[in-house]
Amino acid sequence: MGHDLVCWRCGGTLAGISLPLRRKEECPACRAELHVCRLCRYWDRRTVRQCSQDDAEEVRNKEQANFCDWFKPRPGAFDAAAAATAQAARDQLDALFGPKPSKG
């Protein structure tokens, strides 16, 4: 404990979660899986595989828990500007087509 990690999806603090992260660990605020590429120090959207670790096996879903041995959580994984852009796009789709039905 005592680390300054935040959730890659919502920006919520992960200070109460012990390291190393378990594979199925979830954000206490939004329930996003945390052992994912988007929270890893090697995440790099500028590269073809979005991973700067050449020896890592490719993971297709960057937002789903995986078994990558190279995974190391990184502080600052939440991108507020990207989250705001994504929310604006969802709001526009909702305005056109109505909100997405909730899972029951």
For 16-49, what is each residue's pLDDT tens digit?
Answer: 999 999 999 999 999 999 999 999 999 998 998 9
**pTM of the predicted model as reported, rounded to 2 decimal places:** 0.75
Chain mean pLDDT for the chain: 86
In the chain, what are the domain boundaries?
1-95
- Give the per-residue SS3 of the chain: CCCCCECCCCCCECCCCCCCCCCCCECCCCCCECCCHHHECCECCCCCCCECCCCCCCCCCCCCCCCCCCCCECCCCCCHHHHHHHHHHHHHHHHHHCCCCCCC
